[in-house]
Amino acid sequence: MRTPLVAGNWKMHGSREQLGQLLGEVIAGVGPDTHVEVLVCPAFVYLQAAAGMVSGSPVRLGAQNVCDKPEGAYTGEIAPGMLKDIGCDFVLVGHSERRAIYGESDTLVAAKFEAARAAGLVPVLCVGETLAERDAGQTEAVVARQLGALLDVAGAAALAQAVLAYEPVWAIGTGRTASPGQAQDVHEFIRRSVAAKDAKIADSLRILYGGSVKPGNAAEIFSMPDVDGGLIGGASLKGEDFLAIINAA
Ligand code: PGA
């Protein structure tokens, strides 16, 4: 059985006070006996304060990005070991906003994934197609390319200690969610692609869906056999909505 994971990607939103309050609500709302793993990913500068708050609670902490190098003269970057040092367990790599706005290539994303793993972090690899790619029938080809870049470098064994997130770009922040069937099709494709390399790892790999998940649609999406939770943007910024989505898992 795969333990469901629900992750909040808080992006570049909130102030110290707002996020402190939000995190307090999440910690209070997630019971100690929850069967869902809950992860929050605030902006870098708030991670240390968040680490103090989540300590002793079941809520886990992750960053939204990381450097692909372990240390050195990389002005403005944050090393994976630094994230681990302050109490992060997870890190998002290859979010579509990093790929599209900041030009992160499949190769760079794979390097970040490996650097994160080397530091003992669990990377959450985000993959997904744009609307133009979906309309052109290229969804599987795009996801296969993004996943393949990692499998080429690291092999399927690298996925034993990792999480995947399928996030169709056209569904992120748009209010347009993939239908449960559309999500399941791609999740099943991802699991099958990993299984071709290693069936055991594919079976235990958690694949999250992300893209306009809300309290009203979460349960239906999470009920799909290959959907193991969600990566939640907008709706994770409201304690009540995020908790409702966690409960739906
Ligand atoms: P959304 O964002 O839930 O606001 O669509 C998801 C994400 O970007 O991870």
173 lines ligand 1 (CB under 6 A): yes
Q: What is the mean pLDDT of the chain?
A: 97
Q: Do residues 229 and 6 make contact, with C-beta atoms less than 8 angstroms apart?
A: yes
- The amino acid sitting at 134 is R
Residues whose CB is less than 8 angstroms from the CB of residue 114 and which lie 6 or more positions away in sequence, other chains included = 68, 153, 154, 158
Ligand 1 centroid – CA 121 distance (Å): 22
7 lines ligand 1 (CB under 6 A): no
Q: Summarize the confidence of residues 48-70 as an average pLDDT.
A: 97
Residues annotated as catalytic are 95, 167
Q: Tell me, what's the pLDDT at 176?
A: 87
Percent of the chain exceeding pLDDT 90 equals 95
pLDDT digits (tens, 9 = 90+) for 205-217: 999 999 999 999 9
All structural domains of the chain: 5-248 (3.20.20.70)
What the block records as the tokens of 94 is 């290859």
Task: Indicate which atom in ligand 1 lies nearest the CA of residue 174.
Answer: 5
> Which residue, by CA, sits nearest to atom 6 of ligand 1?
233
Percent of the chain exceeding pLDDT 70 equals 100
172 lines ligand 1 (CB under 6 A): yes
Q: Tell me, what's the pLDDT at 31?
A: 83
pLDDT digits (tens, 9 = 90+) for 167-224: 999 999 888 889 999 999 999 999 999 999 999 999 999 999 999 999 999 999 999 9
Task: Please report where in the chains the tokens 């050195």 appear, as a residue.
Answer: 72
Residue 65 has pLDDT above 90, yes or no: yes
Ligand 1 centroid – CA 175 distance (Å): 9
Per the confidence metrics, is the pTM higher than 0.95?
yes
Complete DSSP assignment for the chain: -PPPEEEEE-TT---HHHHHHHHHHHHHHS-TT-SSEEEEE--GGGHHHHHHHHTTSSEEEEES---SSSSSS-TT---HHHHHHTT--EEEES-HHHHHHH---HHHHHHHHHHHHHTT-EEEEEE---HHHHHTT-HHHHHHHHHHHHHHHH-GGGGGG-EEEE--GGGTTSS-PPPHHHHHHHHHHHHHHHHTT-HHHHHH-EEEEESS--HHHHHHHHTSTT--EEEESGGGGSHHHHHHHHHH-
Ligand 1 centroid – CA 72 distance (Å): 32
